[in-house]
Structure formats: C-alpha cells, structure tokens
C-alpha cells in the first residue's frame, strides 16, 4: 500500500527540526566566532565547532537514528544546568544551552504532533 505523504505531518517535522537546530546554532554563532586568527592564518574555532556539532544532534538523529534511546532536549537541559552552575565562568554557555533546550523542546512537541497526526490518519 503506497501512502501519500501528509503535508501537515511533513510541515510539523520540518518545523520540529527547525526548532531543534537553528535557535541553538544562531545563539552559538552570536557568542562565539566561527573563525579565529592565529599567526596570520584563520582556522575554525574548536569551541564553536563543538557546539555546532551539538546543535546538529537532531539532524544526526534523523539521518542515522543513533540517538534513539534519549531525546536531545534532555541533553540541552543537562548542559543548561551544568552551565548555570558554572555561570561565573561561562555565561554565554548558559544562554546557548537554554536556547538549545527550549528549541529542542518545541521541536519534540512538533514531532509528537506529527506522530499523532500520522496515527490518526492510519
């Protein structure tokens, strides 16, 4: 049986991934430079690259299903709590992880709604 993709379901998935990836990515790029200059040469900043990889976790989850056992918003909540405790040292990290938590929570809600719509359709 060949099913047509439901537009609402696809839109909710796209919206979910958008909430999960883009807010923490933009927050990271607003606090940390992607390129650093050292000795007249430019290189990718390691901290920024690491945080951008964390921002892309939902995309990795979609592509490989490697993180099937836990939700990425729990990771962002955990990071938010750690960085809140270390806020004297890393105020920027606190903001980035909080934005990531909220974005991933909204994304998870969109995915839940898409799953419910898909179940109602069947």
Instruction: State residue 1's pLDDT score.
Output: 47
Instruction: State residue 88's pLDDT score.
Output: 60
Report domain extents, the chain.
7-112
Instruction: State residue 56's pLDDT score.
Output: 79
The tens-digit pLDDT sequence of the chain (122 residues) is 455 567 777 788 788 888 888 888 888 888 877 776 666 666 667 777 778 888 877 776 665 654 455 667 777 777 777 777 666 656 777 788 888 889 989 988 998 999 888 888 77
Buried b (16+ CB within 10 A) or exposed e, 15-37: bbbebbbebbbebbeebbeeeee
Instruction: State residue 87's pLDDT score.
Output: 62
Is this model's pTM higher than 0.75 or not? no
Q: Which residues pair with 36 in a beta bridge?
A: 43
Nearest-5° Cα angle at 108, 97 to 19: 55
In sequence order, the 6+-apart residues with CB closer than 8 A to the CB of 63 are none
What distance in Å separates the CA atoms of residue 52 and residue 2, rounded to the nearest whole number? 37
Instruction: State residue 40's pLDDT score.
Output: 63
Instruction: State residue 5's pLDDT score.
Output: 60
């Amino acid at each position: 049986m060949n099913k047509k993709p439901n537009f609402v379901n696809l839109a909710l998935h796209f919206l979910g991934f958008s909430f999960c990836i883009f807010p923490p990515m933009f927050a990271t790029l607003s606090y940390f430079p992607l390129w650093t200059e050292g000795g007249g040469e430019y290189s990718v900043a390691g901290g920024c690259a690491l945080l951008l990889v964390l921002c892309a976790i939902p995309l990795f989850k979609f592509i490989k299903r490697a993180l099937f056992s836990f939700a990425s918003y729990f990771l962002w909540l955990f990071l938010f709590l750690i960085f809140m405790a270390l806020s004297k040292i890393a105020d920027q990290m606190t903001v980035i992880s909080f934005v990531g938590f909220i974005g991933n929570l909204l994304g998870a809600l969109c995915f839940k709604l898409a799953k419910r719509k898909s179940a109602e359709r069947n």
